[in-house]
């Protein structure tokens, strides 16, 4: 009787090991199928698809589309699996070598984060300091001096205030002539 119980236990153990092995092989096949394809990379208000191969994507490929280094020369591009809240510590995808992201899965969404080169940022700030040196900017934070509302029909958006509009009776026609989309107009 003990031999039968031991044989049954060994058989169950072997069946469990075979089941685990089959599950592991199925998971490896699933992951291999996700190694090549497309991922979505979100940056600011943009969400573009990028090709991956062997679970990898390069910063250069992202930069070709988003032109980040054109705006921020010397910047560093990173990817994350989630969008971070303000003040939350950032944890990025593995990069090896820097600029080559590993572990991406086809069909998933990733978030692009950019770190400006510290030296370039200092040069940009100094340039802006010099540009605005001696300029008067109004009385307070956010005060850009005297501004007023003007007729928006010439910009493609019909006015909403007859006191400001240059041609109130023809505001919709003027906005359409300026390239406005009449589908967006509400009367």
- State yes or no: pLDDT of 139 exceeds 60: no
pLDDT of residue 142: 55
CA distance 54 to 58: 12
Contact 166, 152 (CB under 8 A): no
Q: What does the pLDDT read at residue 160?
A: 87
Residue 138 has pLDDT above 60, yes or no: no
What confidence tier does 135 reach under pLDDT thresholds 50, 70, 90? low
For residue 149, pLDDT beyond 80:
no
- Cis ω on the peptide bond leading into residue 159 (within 30° of 0)? no
pTM: 0.57
């Amino acid at each position: 009787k003990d031999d039968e119980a031991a044989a049954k236990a060994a058989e169950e153990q072997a069946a469990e090991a075979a089941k685990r092995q089959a599950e592991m092989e199925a998971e490896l096949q699933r992951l291999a199928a996700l190694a090549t394809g497309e991922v979505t990379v979100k940056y600011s208000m943009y969400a573009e698809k990028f090709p991956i191969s062997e679970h990898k994507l390069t910063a250069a490929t992202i930069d070709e589309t988003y032109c980040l280094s054109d705006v921020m020369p010397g910047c560093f591009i990173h990817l994350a699996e989630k969008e971070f809240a303000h003040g939350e510590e950032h944890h990025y995808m593995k990069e090896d070598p820097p600029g080559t992201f590993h572990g991406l899965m086809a069909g998933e969404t990733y978030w692009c984060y950019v770190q400006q080169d510290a030296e370039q940022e200092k040069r940009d700030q100094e340039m802006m300091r010099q540009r605005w040196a001696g300029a008067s900017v109004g009385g307070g934070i956010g005060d850009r001096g005297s501004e007023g509302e003007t007729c928006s029909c010439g910009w493609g958006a019909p006015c909403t205030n007859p006191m400001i509009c240059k041609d109130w009776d023809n505001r919709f026609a003027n906005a359409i002539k300026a390239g406005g989309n009449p589908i967006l107009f509400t009367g």
